[in-house]
Amino acid sequence: MTKTLVLFGSARKNGETKAMLNLLLESLGDKAGDVKIIDAYQTEIQPCIDCRCCWEYRGCSINDEMQEIYEMIDKADTIIIAAPVYYYSVPGKLKILIDRLQVYWAGIPRGDKPENMSRRGIGLLTGGAQPFPNQFFGAELVLKGVFAAVAAENVGIITFSETDTKSVNKSAELRDAIFKLADKFPDHQI
């Protein structure tokens, strides 16, 4: 069965980022398969200590919840990262989790990084402010880096501004963008 892993990085459990994620998951329907959501704010993940243990073997010297998350990433067909943007990047709790994905990037010095993209990556980013140049640029770079590290083809990163005053569920333009993204996935599986 197809597996979708969501890395959710919003402190607001039922805010606009969650509404955007729900809309995507509804649009994917059965194509998403078995969906597992990791809420970064509900994890006890330690920050990367740059010990470079992962440069020698495919693992992390810190024994915490990331061990389970690594297994879920390895089994995932699709990885969705959904987060609001704080000061041009993802929130700190999600960034701690992302920094621990160094294990995947370290496949380069280890010499075992996959050459082919074996899964899909989707980014969903929200911002409270009115649109302005490069509003999502920093966060998009982070997501693109994650997708490259975990061998996920970047299928698309969808952004939505003005969540302080606008609702995701009332935006026809956003709905269209999410439906178009969902249409890229085959009906039989992701």
Q: Is 87 left (phi over 0), alpha (psi -120 to 50) or beta?
A: left
CA dist 14 to 55, 110, 159, Å?
38, 41, 18
Per-residue pLDDT at 187 = 65
Q: Estimate the share of the chain in helix, then strand, then coil, as percent rounded to the nearest 5.
A: 40, 20, 40
- The residue type found at 32 is A
The class level of CATH for 3-182 reads alpha beta
Going by C-alpha positions, the residue among 68, 77, 70 that lies closest to residue 33 is 77
Taking the domains of the chain in order of start, what are their residue ranges?
3-182
Map residue 58 onto helix, strand or coil: coil
Angle between helices 137-149 and 92-99 (to 10 degrees): 30
Alpha-carbon distances, residue 92 vs 41, 87, 117, 161, 171 (angstroms)? 9, 11, 27, 20, 28
Taking only the tens of pLDDT, the chain with its 190 residues reads 889 999 999 999 999 999 999 999 999 999 999 999 999 999 999 999 999 999 999 999 999 999 999 999 999 999 999 999 999 999 999 999 999 999 999 999 999 999 889 899 999 999 999 999 999 999 999 999 999 999 999 999 999 999 999 999 999 999 999 999 999 887 645 3
